[in-house]
Amino acid sequence: MSTPSRPDLVARVDRLVALAVRRAALLGPEAVEDASDASRAASQRGRELLEHTRSYLLPRARDLDAPLVVLLLGPTGAGKSTLMNTLAGLPVSRTGVLRPTTRDAVVLASVDDQTSLRATGPLSSVAAHRLEWVERGARPGIAIIDAPDIDSVEHANRHLADTLLEVADLCFFVTTATRYADRVPWDVLARVEQRRLPLVVVVNRLPAGSDASAVLDDVRRLLGRSGLTRPEAAADAGMAPSGSLAVRPAGLEVIGVAEGALHPDGTALSRDAVEA
């Protein structure tokens, strides 16, 4: 089967967007005001589908060489901005005790990539005043976004985080050893799973010793219970001794970072401070 040309691909995605618009209209708020929970869930999925086709599929179809979008998500005070600074190697995102520290999205991208992302790329649908652009420490071809807190008391901040989730290619979910079981993050992770988005869970501020392993084991248990382990047959694993296919998590990593190991100034993270 031949590969469609770029104009053909864009035309096909345009048709998907049109269908998503029709579906969202049929399942709009007025249609489910007195409906069941199942109908409300269907309406929510319809809105997510529309957001995804408009904000992710269509921009990607228009520019297949657009930068990879890496999104840092998490609850307030988890250390997203500090991780952003660590990835950049210098302080590019504000940190501090005043919450929320990140009210707008901080986008780390090269000048050329910024142009692509703003024009017709994945961030073209995001309100310009909600994006703070930084180029120092950026690497060509990759845009890293420090999103507002997913549990922010400000609805506009939560909405922006949800919107950015729809345009991401890879998600780093940052939580802490004391907050990983909070309900709100798991609601967001459910959408990550629906999108089959590659996910790295960063558990910050791990305690010392065996307690760290216990926390990470519990995080993996909760991920499995929520359907986020994504088992797939390993291509070269063959058959396990029991006769079943050997499996491995696909597109999912869990990483623990020791208490105090992430520094707001962007100091490199010591390998000894990371547990996977």
pLDDT of residue 264: 84
Q: What is the three-class DSSP state of 113?
A: helix
Whether 99 has a pLDDT exceeding 60, the answer reads no
Residues 23 and 140 in one domain: no
Task: Look at phi and psi of residue 137 and say left if phi exceeds 0, alpha if psi is from -120 to 50, else beta.
Answer: left
Over residues 21-28, the mean pLDDT reads 78
Considering 64, 83, 104, which residue would you say is the last residue of a domain?
Answer: 64
Give pTM, 2 decimals: 0.81
Convert the pLDDT of each residue in 219-273 to its tens digit.
Answer: 999 998 888 865 543 334 333 444 333 343 458 899 999 988 988 888 878 877 8
Residues 106 and 54 in one domain: no
Q: For residues 209 and 139, state if they share a domain.
A: yes
22-to-25, 122, 123, 171 alpha-carbon distances in Å: 5, 22, 24, 29
Quote the pLDDT of residue 245.
37
Residue range 31-58: average pLDDT? Answer: 74
Q: What CATH number does residue 88 fall under?
A: 3.40.50.300
Asked if 122 and 151 sit in the same domain, the reply is yes
The whole-number pLDDT of residue 78 equals 92
Average pLDDT, the chain: 82
Looking up tokens 């950015």 gives 164
Q: Which residue has the tokens 């065996």?
A: 210
Percent of the chain with pLDDT strictly greater than 90 = 38
Same domain assignment for residues 34 and 148: no
Count how many domains the chain has.
Answer: 2
Tens of pLDDT, residues 161-206 = 988 998 999 999 999 999 999 988 888 898 898 888 999 999 999 9
275 contacts: CB under 8 Å, gap ≥ 6? 206, 212, 213, 216, 255, 256, 257, 258
Strand partners, 105: 131
Span 117-127, mean pLDDT?
87
Contact 58, 13 (CB under 8 A): yes
State pLDDT tens for residues 134-159: 999 999 999 999 999 998 888 888 88
Shared domain for 21 and 130, answered yes or no, is: no
Cα–Cα dist 112/141, whole Å: 9
Task: Tell me the residue range of the domain where 28 lies.
Answer: 1-64
Asked whether residue 33 carries a pLDDT value surpassing 60, the answer given is no
Distance CA 5, CA 169 (A): 22
Domain final position from 43, 64, 85: 64
Q: What percent of the chain has pLDDT over 70?
A: 84
What's the pLDDT at 4? 61
